[in-house]
Amino acid sequence: MSRRITARRTLIVTLAAWTVGFLIFFPILWTVLISFKSEGDAIKAPFAMLMSDWTFASYEQVQTRSNYSRHFMNSVVISLGSTLVALAIAIPAAWAMAFVPGKRTKDVLMWMLSTKMMPAVGVLIPLYLLFRDLGLLDTRTGLVIVLTLINLPIVIWMLYTYFKEIPGEILEAARMDGATLRSEILYILTPMAVPGIASTLLLNVILAWNEAFWTLQLTTSRAAPLTQFIASYSSPEGLFYAKLSAASTMAIAPILILGWFSQKQLVRGLTFGAVK
Amino acid sequence: MGKITLRNVQKRFGEAVVIPSLDLDIEDGEFVVFVGPSGCGKSTLLRLIAGLEDVSDGQILIDGRNATEMPPAKRGLAMVFQSYALYPHMTVRKNIAFPLKMAKMDRAEIDRRVDNAARVLNLTNYLDRRPGQLSGGQRQRVAIGRAIVREPAAFLFDEPLSNLDAALRVNMRLEITELHQSLKTTMIYVTHDQVEAMTMADKIVVLNAGRIEQVGSPLTLYRSPANLFVAGFIGSPKMNLIAGPEAASRGATTIGIRPEHLDISRDGGEWPGEVGVSEHLGSDTFLHVHVKGMPTLTVRAGGEFGVHHGDRVWLTPQPDKIHRFGPDGRAI
Amino acid sequence: MATQHSKTAARLMISPAVILLFLWMIVPLSMTLYFSFLRYNLLMPGMESFTGWDNYYYFLTDPAFAAALTNTLLLVGGVLLITIVGGTALALLLDQPMWGQGIVRILVIAPFFIMPTVSALVWKNMFMNPVNGMFAHIARALGMQPFDFLAHAPLASIIGIVAWQWLPFATLILLTALQSLDREQMEAAEMDGASPVARFVYITLPHLTRAITVVVLIQTIFLLGVFAEILVTTNGGPGTASTNITYLVYAQSLLNYDVGGGSAGGIVAVILANIVAIFLMRMIGKNLDA
C-alpha cells in the first residue's frame, strides 16, 4: 500500500468518524447551546436560535427559583455517600476473596452478582412500605442505603478483579524482604490497589448519580437528587426549553467530566472483568 | 554463614503428594542448582526453604537452627523471583532499599548499601527510574540488588533467567556466577535448563517427581549418571540410549553413549549406518545416524564434517565411555 | 499460603457484605411473594385477605400484561439490535487509524453518562416535540408535516432514545475487544488471500462473539428495567402503547395502590429476569475460570 493511499484512507476514516461522533454528541451540544438562550429564542428554528443573543439568565433562574443547589447537594451526598459505604464494606470482602481464596469463593462471587440481576420492581412494594413505616421515604439516608446495596455487587466485583491482578509473587517478595503484615499492606498492597479503588469509586459515583428508578420512587422533594429534579420538568405545562437545558447541563456536566476519565474502567467494571 | 539442611521434608497439597520425603545438605558458600523437568517439585522445594509454603512434615535447619516454623522474613534468606516481583510503584532505589527499610536500618547505612549494590550491578544511572522503564536485564539486576543488600545467609533463585532472551541469559549467567565468587554466599538456584545447571553449579540436585535422582558436581553427573533419568537429562545433545540385543551383549538392559563418545568414520567401524539430518554449527557437527536395530543415534563430530543425507558411515563407541543400566534403570 | 488464621480473618472480612446482600435479597423478595397472595390495597388499609393465585390470574390475563410483555420484548430486542449492529460498525470505524481518535471516543461515549431523565427530556422536548422540536423544524423547512413521535410512535421513539444511551456502551466494549485482536492473525489471513469481508466474517466476528454476548446479556439486564425514560416521556401511553413490565408494575402498585396485584407483577418480572440472568451467570462463570 503506498503512502498516498494510506493518507487518503486516514482522511476518509477521520471525516467519517468525526461526523458520526458529532451526530451522537449533538443532542448534548444542542442542550448546552439552548441553555444560553432566552426562553423566546430557545424555541425558534435551529438557525435563528443559533443567531440569537447569548445569556446566562436561565442559569440564574434555575438557581434562584427552583433550589437547584439543594438537589445538586442531594445528588452529591447520595452518590458519594452510597459509594463510600459500599467501598467500606466491599474492600475487605474483595481483599479476602482475592488473596485468601477458598473453595467457595467463586460461588460467593457469583451469588453476589446474581443479586444484581433481581429487577427493582420485584422489591418495589415491600421497600416502599418498609421505608414508609421507618420514615425513610424522601430521605438521603434511605437512598444511600438502597444505592449502596444495589451497587455493592459491582463494587465488590470490580475491586476483586483489580486485587486479583496484583501478582502473588510481589507479596511473597515483600514477605521475603521482611515486611510484616502491616507494612505489607501499607507499603505494597495499598499503593498498588489505589488506582483500582479510585476507578471503582469513580464508576460507582457515576452509576449512583444517574440511577433513575429508586431515586424517582423513593423521593419527592426534600431528598430529591437531580434525576427527580429534572423529571419534574416533564409536565407538559412547564415547557421552558432554556431553563430545562440549563438545569440539564448543570446536572450532567460534572458526571460527564468524571465519566470521560473513567472510560477504560467502565468497560471492565460493567462487564465484571469479562472484557478488558 | 549459610548451611541449609533438609531432614525428611515432605510436602502435600491436600491429597497430592508433591515431595514424598527428602533429605539434603547444602554447605555454606555452595552454589547448588535444583534441576529437573517442569512439575518435578523443584520450585516447591525452593519455596519450602524460603518459608513461602508450609512443610507438611520434616525439618528445615538453617545454620543448625530449626527454621521449619519460622516466617520467611526471619530466615535471613533472600529470593529472586521468576517474574522479578519488583514493586511497580517504587523507584529502583526504593525497591532495593525496601528490605533494609523493613529491617529498620538507619538511612545513611541504607544509602551506602544501595549505592554499593547499584555500583556492583551497573544500576547507578537508573536508581530514580521505575521498574516499568527498565529492560528485562535491568529488572533482573534490580531483583538481584534487592537480594544482595540484605547480606542474607543464602540466596534463592527461582528460574531467574527464563524471561530473558538467549544472549542476555548467557550474560546474566556469568554475572550471577561472578557474584557468587565475590560474595561467597550460599546460593540455591532452580532451573529446568541443564546448561545453566552444568555451567553454574558447584553441586547439582536432579529432581524428578519430587524425588532426588542424584546429587553431585556437574562433572560427576556427566561422567557417572546414577540412573537413566539423570543420564537422559544431563548433557547436550542428549545421551543415546540403546536397549535390546546390543545392550544385552554388554550385560545390561540399556546402554548409554554420549554423542561426543561415538567415533564416526566413512571407511569402517562397529555399527554401520546411514546419515539422516546433519546440523552444521561450525565448531561442531551433529549427525543423526540411522543404525539398524537401534533408535536414531546422535553423533557429535568436531569441526566441520562433510557428509550428506544418505551417506553410509560407521560408528564406533568409545568402550570406556559406555554407560550400562540394569532392568531397574540404575547404573551398573 | 492460606493458614488457618488467615482463613478465619477472611471469613470475617467477607461476612458483612454477604449478610447485607442476603438480607437485601431475601427480606423484600419474600415480602413481595407474601403480598402477591393477598388482596391488599393501600386505599383500603386493614382489609387484607388471602386470595391465593387470584392476583396472578388477574395480572397475567389483563390485556395490559400481554401488551407490556410485547413492549418489553420489542424494547429490549430493538435496542439490542440497534446497539449491536451500530456498535460493531462504530467500533470498526474507530479502530482505524485516524486523526483525533481520542476526541471522537469522548464524543461517542458521552451519552452513556447522561442521566436517563435528562436524555429522555432532551429528546422529548428539543428534538421530538411536534411544534418546537428540531425534527419539526427540519420537517417544516423541507415542506413536510411535522410528525408527533411520542404520540404516534411512542415505543419506537423510546427505543430510539434508549438506544442512543446504550450505543456508547456497546461501542466501547466492542472497541476494547477489537483492540485485543491479534494483528498477526489478521496479517496471516491477509497473506492467505482473505478479502476484507472474509476477514471480518471469519476472524473479526468470531473474535467479537464473546464481547457481543457480554453486551447482549448486560444490556438485557438493564433494559428489562427501563423506567425513567417512559415515566418522563409518555407515562406508558397512549393507552398501554409504551408500557413495559416495569412500568406496569409501578402503575399497578403505586398509581392504583394495588399492592397485591403489583406484587404478583413484581414476581413475574423477577422470574423473567432470572431466565436471562441464568445465561449471564453461566457465561461470566466461564470467564472466571479462563
Question: Residue B52 and residue C3: Cβ atoms within 8 Å?
Answer: no
Q: At what angle do helices B136-148 and B92-102 cross, to 10 degrees?
A: 20
Whose cell is 546460593? That residue is B187
pLDDT of residue C284: 64
Residue C252 CA: distances (Å) to CA of B162, C57, C155, C280: 67, 14, 20, 29
Query: Alpha-carbon distance A186 to B51, whole Å?
Result: 22
Q: Which residue has the cell 571407511?
A: B267
Calpha distance A37→A245 (Å, rounded): 9
**What torsion do the CA atoms of A226, A229, A235, A239 make, to the nearest 10 degrees?**
-80
Quick one: pLDDT at residue A235? 66
pLDDT at residue C88 is higher than 90: yes
Q: Which residues contact C176 (CB under 8 A, 6 or more apart)?
A: A267, A275, A276, C211
Chain B: which residues have CB within 8 Å of chain A? Answer: 50, 52, 71-73, 77-79, 81-83, 85-89, 98-99, 102-103, 146, 150
B73 with A177: Cβ contact below 8 A: yes
Q: Measure the CA–CA gap between B162 and C151, rounded to whole angstroms.
A: 69
Cα separation, B27 vs B37, in Å, equals 25
| DSSP single-letter state for residue A54 | P
Burial B113-129 (b: 16+ CB within 10 A, else e): bbeebbebbebeebbee
Percentages of chain B per state (helix, strand, coil), in multiples of 5: 30, 35, 35
Structural domain count, chain C: 1
- Say yes or no for a CB contact (<8 Å) between A110 and C97: no
Q: Which subunits count as partners of chain A given 3+ CB pairs below 8 Å?
A: B, C
Q: Mind listing the pLDDT tens digit for each residue in B8-43?
A: 999 888 788 888 888 999 999 999 999 998 888 899
Does residue C285 surpass a pLDDT of 70?
no
Which domains does chain B possess? 4-230 (3.40.50.300), 238-325 (2.40.50.140)
Q: Are the C-beta atoms of C146 and C131 separated by less than 8 Å? A: yes
> How many Å apart are CA C206 and CA A144, to the nearest integer?
42
Q: For residue C2, is pLDDT > 60?
A: no
Q: How far is A123 from chain C (nearest CA, A)?
A: 5
Q: Say what the pLDDT of residue A241 is.
A: 83
Question: What pLDDT, in 10s, does the model give residues B73-127?
Answer: 888 888 898 888 888 888 999 999 988 888 888 999 999 999 999 998 889 999 9
CB contact under 8 A, B52 and A191: no
Model pLDDT, residue C1: 45
**Between chains, do A169 and B77 touch, taking CB under 8 Å as contact?**
no
Q: Give the containing element (helix H, strand E) for A42.
A: helix A39-42
Span of A59-73, B44-58, C194-208, C276-290 with lowest mean pLDDT: C276-290
Residues A14-39: b if buried by 16+ CB within 10 A, e if exposed: beebbebbeebbebbebbebbbbbeb
pLDDT digit string, tens, across residues C122-143: 898 888 888 888 888 888 888 8
What is the mean pLDDT of the segment spanning A23-50?
84
Residue-number span of the structural domain to which C154 is assigned: 53-289
pLDDT at res. A274? 67
CB C189: neighbour CB atoms within 10 A? Answer: 17
Q: Which residues on chain C are in Cβ contact (under 8 Å) with B53?
A: 1
- Check if the beta carbon of residue C75 is closer than 8 Å to that of residue C223: yes
Coil, strand or helix: which one is A122?
helix
* A86-108 pLDDT per residue, tens: 999 998 898 888 888 878 888 88
CB contact under 8 A, B53 and C1: yes
Is the CB of C11 less than 8 angstroms away from the CB of A96?
yes
Q: Does residue C28 form part of some domain?
A: no
Give the pairing of strands B254-257 and B77-80: unpaired
Residue C46 lies in a domain: no
Distance from CA of B17 to the nearest CA of A (A): 19
Q: Is residue C257 assigned to a domain?
A: yes
How does pLDDT run across A152-172, given as a tens digit for each residue? 988 898 888 888 888 888 888
Report pLDDT digits (tens) over B245-293: 888 888 889 999 999 999 988 888 889 999 988 888 888 889 999 998 8
Most confident range, picked from A59-68, B1-10, C51-60: B1-10
- Asked if C173 and C94 count as a contact pair (C-beta separation under 8 A), the reply is no
Provide the pLDDT for residue A67: 80
Which of A261-265, C114-118, C195-199 shows the lowest mean pLDDT across its residues? A261-265
Range with lowest mean pLDDT among A245-249, A271-275, B239-243, C251-255: A271-275
Asked whether B123 and B145 are in contact (CB, 8 A), the reply is yes
pLDDT over 90 at A79, yes or no: yes
Enumerate the residues of chain A whose CB falls inside 8 A of the CB of residue B82: 169
Parallel, antiparallel or unpaired: strands B31-35 and B186-191: parallel
Report, as an integer, the average pLDDT of C87-98: 90
Residues of B in contact with A174 (CB under 8 A): 87, 98
- Chain C segment 2-31 residues within 8 A of B by beta carbon are 3
State the cell numbers at C13.
472480612
Q: What is the CATH number that goes with domain A69-230+253-269?
A: 1.10.3720.10
pLDDT for residue B200 is more than 70: yes
Residues constituting chain A:
276
Contacts of A162 in chain B (CB under 8 A): none
Question: Which chain C residue's Cα is nearest to A272?
Answer: C284
DSSP string, C230-257: HHHHTTT-STTTT--HHHHHHIIIIIS-
Residues of C in contact with A273 (CB under 8 A): 287
Interchain pair C32, A239: CB under 8 A: no
Residue C290 pLDDT class (50, 70, 90 cuts): very low
Q: How many CB pairs under 8 A join B and C?
A: 3
Which DSSP letter does residue B73 get?
A: G
CA distance B304 to C58: 95
Tally A–C CB contacts below 8 A.
Answer: 311
**DSSP symbols for C67-135:** HHHHHHHHHHHHHHHHHHHHHHHHHHHHTS--TTHHHHHHHHHGGGGS-HHHHHHIIIIIIS-TTTSHH
Smallest Cβ–Cβ distance between C100 and the set A14, A102, A274 belongs to: A14
Q: How many CB atoms lie within 10 A of CB A80?
A: 16
Cα B187 from Cα B77, distance rounded (Å): 10
Cβ atoms within 10 A of the Cβ of B232, count?
A: 14
**Angstrom distance (rounded) from CA B44 to CA B158:** 10
Which of A74, A113, A121 is the best substitution to test chain C (most C C-beta atoms within 10 A)?
A121
pLDDT of residue C48: 74
**Residue C9 within any structural domain of the chain:** no
Q: How far apart are CA C115 and CA A205, in angstroms?
A: 12
Please give the ipTM for the structure prediction.
Answer: 0.84
Q: Among A126-140, B132-146, C180-194, C235-249, where is mean pLDDT lowest?
A: C180-194
Distant-in-sequence, close-in-space partners of C234: CB < 8 Å, separation ≥ 6: C150, C154, C157, C158, C241, C242
Residue type, A205: V
Q: How many H helices and E strands in chain A?
A: 15, 0
Structural domain spans, chain A: 69-230+253-269
**Touching check for C180 and chain B: CB below 8 Å?**
no
Q: B134-172, pLDDT tens digit by residue?
A: 988 899 899 999 998 888 899 999 998 888 888 888 888
Interatomic CA distance for residues C248 and C270, integer angstroms: 14
Label residue A122 by pLDDT band (50, 70, 90): confident
Name residues whose C-beta falls within 8 Å of residue C265's C-beta, 6 or more positions apart in sequence.
Answer: A121, C59, C65, C245, C248, C249, C252, C253
Inter-chain CB proximity C3 and B54 less than 8 Å: yes
Tell me how far CA of residue C48 lies from CA of C35, C42, C70, in angstroms: 9, 9, 32
Q: Cell for B142?
A: 534490580
- DSSP string covering A204-246: HHHHHHH--SHHHHH-SSTT--HHHHHHGGGSGGG--HHHHHH
Q: Please write the tens of the pLDDT for every residue from C175-229.
A: 988 888 877 787 777 777 777 888 888 888 888 888 888 888 788 878 888 888 8
Confidence of residue C289 (pLDDT cuts 50, 70, 90): low
* Grid coordinates of A101: 481464596
Q: How confident is the model at residue C288 (pLDDT cuts 50, 70, 90)?
A: low
CA distance A49 to chain B (A): 53
CB atoms within 10 A of CB A137: 19
Task: Supply the CATH number for residue C206's domain.
Answer: 1.10.3720.10
Q: Is the model more confident about C180 or about B218?
A: B218
For residue A55, the SS3 value is: coil
Q: Which residues of B touch C (CB under 8 A)?
A: 52-54
Instruction: Measure in Å the smallest separation between the Cα of A153 and chain B Cα atoms.
Output: 29
Strand partners, B242: B255
Task: Give the one of B71, B85, B89 whose C-beta lies nearest to A173's C-beta.
Answer: B85
Residues of chain A with Cβ-Cβ distance to B52 below 8 Å are: 172, 175-176
Q: Is the pLDDT of residue B321 over 60?
A: yes
Determine the average pLDDT of the residues in B287-305: 88
The Cα of C104 is separated from the nearest Cα of chain A by a number of Å equal to 6
Chain B positions in Cβ-Cβ contact with residue C3 (cut-off 8 Å) = 54
User: Which of C229, C260, A237, C257 has its CA nearest to residue C246?
Assistant: C229
